[in-house]
Homo-oligomer: A and B are copies of this chain.
Amino acid sequence: MTLSLYTHEHFMKEALKEAVKGKEEGEIPVGAVVVCQKRIIARACNQTEKLNDATAHAEMIALTSAFNYMGTKYLPDCTLYVTLEPCVMCAGAGFWAQLEKVVYGASDNRRGFDLIGPQILHPKTEIIKGVMARESKELIDDFFREIRKKNN
């Protein structure tokens, strides 16, 4: 029996580490990593506050970083791991990247791309959802709970 270290959970944990980093910097805690041939080639947390840019989502930054690392305009052998279901913008970016897989944790019932439909991603992209969903959601719920506590 061979035990693989490179499970979806393994890489999602790395995305969660990014989300925690984001939280420590006052960002909505969403993290992402891009994996190619079992190696993490890019990682990022949400940076909308730091960069004053509503488009600076973890996925966008990680994808741009992955393009840069690979030196290619497409990422057909890459998997994007992200703790929260991508929004329409990020799924649209995934379409252009022609990602092999998108693996996400918690669903986003307000802004997730799946509200519009899976056709936003590239037809070749496999979608796997719910990986470490509980941990991913808890991180976000805690974040907003703390914000509400501060504001009361």
Q: Which residues of A contact B (CB under 8 A)?
A: 48-49, 51-56, 60, 63-64, 67-68, 70-74, 87-93, 95-98, 116-117, 119-120
Contacts and interface: CB of A to CB of B under 8 A. Distances in A.
Contacts of A64: 53, 55-56
Nearest to A64: B53
A120 B82 CA distance: 21
A70 B54 CA distance: 12
Contact of A73 (B53, B63, B91, B98): B53
B88 A92 contact: yes
B48 A73 contact: yes
Contact of A55 (B53, B63, B117): B63
Given A116-B116, A116-B120, A120-B116, A72 B52 contact: yes
